Chains A and B, each alone.
Chain A
Amino acid sequence: MILLATLLVLAVAAVGWWLARKRAREIELRSSGHHDRLHSRPVYHGLYVAIWTGVPALLLLLLWVAIQGPLLDALLLASLPQDVVQGLDENARAVLLNEIKTRAAGNPLPGEPAPYVAEAVRRLLRWRAIANMAALALSLAVALAGMAFAWRRLSPTFRARRAVERAFTWLMLVCASIAILTTVGIVLSLIFETMRFFTMVPLTEFVFGLRWEPQIAIRPDQVASSGAFGMIPVFAGTLLISAIALGFAVPVGLLSAIYLVEYASSRFRAFAKPLLEFLAGIPTVVYGFFAILTVAPAIKHFGDALGIPTAPNSALAAGLVMGIMLIPFISSLSDDALAAVPNALREGSIGLGATRAETIRYVLLPAALPGIMAGVLLAASRAIGETMIVVMAAGIIATLTLNPFEAVTTVTVQIVTLLIGDTEFDNPKTLAAFALGFVLFLITLALNMLSMHIVRKYREQYD
């Protein structure tokens, strides 16, 4: 129904455009040669009318679509018999609403509906029909009103082009603001859910707790292992795996960048750089599969052979594969940092009789250090926020350990594990994922900003 309304509005807008353009052409023809000449080309007149016809109506429809769902839900709930609704908590209410909506959609559910449910279904269908009609009628009315309003402005001296261009600039501004809106959206939604979480679980337990066991008694009579929501072991797992990853990726990435910038011939560079780009473009789910297919078994084999008890999903396996993923990242950032060092410094050092290695060690690396460090920070941010590799290759039980041969879990693993499957926004398990996500967001934001700050601060040195 909404689709129909949208199409109708667009059709009306198109008619408006065509009519307005025709009219503008008439005015132009009548007054050609006189000072009655049109300010703007006819097409702009057409666009002006079309915009006033279509945009308000479409915005109305958009708003309607967004609000109709929650509004009808609230009304429906209010219309149910009070004695039924009182006894239900939020979860059960959501289930009830779901049942009503599913039956209304014509999908079969087992069992016969209770009489008040059947009544509610009928009511919902009625309301929906009314709402759709109303949406259609209202949007058409707004469209026609808009067209009438815009039509009256048409005249030879009307600055249609300016008006249309202004409207366009606003459109572009809105598009640009979506970036801000997205950030705001992320922050708000995360904060909102996190706040709800902290009403159920104390902040101190989350920040300082050493046990992470997100079990919640599902039924009131279950022996409740009261869930423990201490985030420290989870973050420790993230740090362990990230440290392994960076410990592997930073030397390999940096050394390969050094070779590519200082020693390699241009032919070699032309061949090696695409290779590294390819590594960088591989989706992380592929790396995750590689970890479980090849790396984790190999490490277990290796560990067992050495007599070290190794988990099949050891932190070492996940960390190594994550490191492989990060190599091209660090290599290309270090490459940029080294290439940005002015050639004059290189020549100055070589001119004094230094070998390439001495030039690299004593002149270039110190000079490129800020850029390299910024790159490492960005890579750390990447490692901490990485999901698929650890979801597939790391563990689920939160263990506080430094042993890379054991299995640990990470923040991202927990977020995914807690949210896969049906989620109700009610129990601490689901909300814990948001709390973790919020902390993750803050940490990666801090690392990114620190990285940008370092680059900006030290860039001035060379300009």
Chain B
Amino acid sequence: MTAHAGSPRPVATACPYCGVGCGVLASTGPDGGVTISGDPAHPANRGRLCVKGSTLGETLSLDGRLLHPMIRAGSGVLQRVSWASALDAVAEGFARIARNHGPDATAFYLSGQLLTEDYYVANKLMKGFLGTANVDTNSRLCMASSVAGHRRGFGSDTVPGSYDDLDQADLLVLVGSNAAWCHPVLWQRMVANKQSRGARIVVIDPRRTATSAEADLMLAIRPGTDGTLFAGLLVHLAETGTLDQAYIAAHTEGFDQALERARELGPSIEATARACGLAGGDVRRLFHWFRTTERSVTLYSQGVNQSAQGTDKVSAILNCHLATGRIGRAGMGPFSLTGQPNAMGGREVGGLANMLAAHMGFSSVEIDRVRRFWGAPRMAEREGLKAVAMFDAIEKGTIKALWVMATNPAASLPRADAVRRAMAGLDHFVVSENVLSNDTINSGARILLPAAAWGEKDGTVTNSERRITRQRRFLPLPGEARPDWWIVAEVAKRLGFAEAFSWPDVASVFREHAALSSFENQGSRDFDIGGLSQLSATEFEALEPVQWPVRRRSDTADKRFFANGGFFTPDGKARFIAIEAPGLRTEPDAAHPYVLNTGRMRDHWHTMTRTGKAPTLGRHAIEPAVEIHPRDAAAASLAAGDFAEVSTAHGRVTLRVVIDEGQAPGSLFVPIHWTAETASHGRVGALVQPATDPFSGQPEMKATPAAISRVAPGIEGFILSRSAVALPAGTRWARAAVAGGLGTVFSAPGGIDGAVIAAHLKPPGGAVSEMVDLGRGVYRAAIFDGARLVAVIFVAAGGRPSWSWIEAQFGAAELSPLARKALLSGRAPDGMADAGPTICACFAIGLTAIKAAIAEGACDVDAVGRALKAGTNCGSCRPEIKKLIETRPVTAPALA
């Protein structure tokens, strides 16, 4: 038996990637390998998975995993310590700093990767026991504007609809969403609706994307003007008599002011189109379709949220749905697509600095209610610092203790280089992680705590349609890794709060969270899962995916909100919002003439600590690239495949140039995934401005003024190796998982000596096979340890060579003789027969051909010669041919 005997039956769990929250079945084979498939029973995906979900099995190796607690010694080196000493050190630091500088000198920075129970425990410790609300999360970068927009409009952070609406709608308007890449399974549902029911799809995005390629109408909007477009739509709805006056009157407040403001912003279709940089006909078509389609869903994602006016953009959308009463009914409503697997769960427990717990805020009534429920000795009395402000406070030194869990702010926050420097100055810097090394850890984290990863931990997540799904464990905890909730609870005990943090298991944490959600609720708060607060451990284990609210145990049916009002404002009415004039916080200028947009690639996720392990996913985009419109490229003298420096007032990166007609002129697109772990010059977080939305605190990550200029390409090449290779200083590189190891692409402006790298990679007793064409600047080498290929290097002067075929050979257990011969050519020897060793040198006839001729009846040397010419010149091969004839396999005569 192998050490990790697998579960005999598939374990149903939830995908750890985007907010769609697909159900996944994980089966562990006897060899420890994990097979992943979509869960046909899960309502979010009904068995489908996208490529990221499908390849989860490739991401589960323990390579690079943090498996033991570690503390950075005086020398800066991380040293393994016991859990007890690590937890003592974490608690001591927080206690000391809170005592000397007050609780607001401490902070937690959490993640949508955490499970609801992890989040709950962390939030409880900080807001109820340490006495600060400095608990924020990377969800702040993701959908905080949706939260703020929902709360402002509905009085609660409520997604009113369900995924079923996407199947039932007749019009799907996607705003700032590349769902085809970012929410692929939901997107497939939308496309299926289009195909089977004829639903129309409209995409509003400055950039043409895979999503817009499927759209019936694509509006390449000027960045920052979404609010104007929806203001114009509101005006159009009002002027065409499309308003639901009864709904407005019964269930809303503030319509007149909102419409008045909308008339200032988008008084007519023409004015709206002009302001948004759109063709009048396209705007007219959108407005017409929206006006005439009762079943309309408006979906929005980071293009709306990641904005200094994100909350207003959300409000502009909500206004249109409230004004038409198209909310909370089948096939209609506003729909926020969340980015992370448990962004919603984080919102539910109060993982955001401006939320308390269980969708409660910081009113004195709510503070008191939570205090009584928790028996909390030291409640936070006011909102804490939101992410950008939190790291500003770290930079200023007012926050001195930070615990980062399951996220990588040194790469992902705006001004990421400044964030990295700021964290280095912390007095007390704790990181709970899966990995041994990332940009945040390497910013100077003092204590590392090994957290359980997906597949190893148990709990719940909530997806974009409010559906709670169990994440279940199907792998043993590796090394000394522990669930995050356990780690936080252990620290809480050491801080003197044992009574409030002594859960025996994760189900107990869930029950407490569920109980809080219904505590003194009576329908006054949207989030109520009190019906689940009495689940036994067995029932929790078996919990089926369920949409909240679950006010009673029996109340597990799917449901929508607000069809008949019932908003969670004091008067139960929704609020129309008069939005501010739309525009970018910082407009491009002569020094930074482009608008820099940041976003995702199809096959990567966040900072690639998971997707970066999957060779299948690495193939889509091997290295980070800046995408630019052909006209801008020509103006900047950039050709496809060049390298360019992209700079802003905050930082600079150097990326490959991709010319893409889908980019709006004047804009640049860069991917968010690469960090110092995976690329030398690709930390795009460093470029992003820190301007934030006044309500949500979400930063404007998709519109930073930027400049671009060509840089010398240098000598280019790649290395496939079994482990990471250090390259000379000054070399630009990016790294991706390949079958059997790592692929590193590089360009060296000052040149690079491939032979030196080859010598470095050669194991003792190994051999270097090489090809050199100095005249062309070509150096290629394959490094062998015995018969095993351990590394391949290609260096070329004229652009990056392809490794596609070589990668397959690198991943193969054994290299065929033919593949070895072809390896350094980089070309598949398709159709090239293996000639075998040369027998006749004069006519270059190999063993294979001669054996074939013999098999076909050549019975003596001369006959072989007549067939192949072999042996007819110098004749030195004739003895060998003769021997081959004499030793040919004899076919047994057929029995009569």
Are A and B a genuine interacting pair, yes or no?
A: no
B contacts, CB < 8 Å to A: none
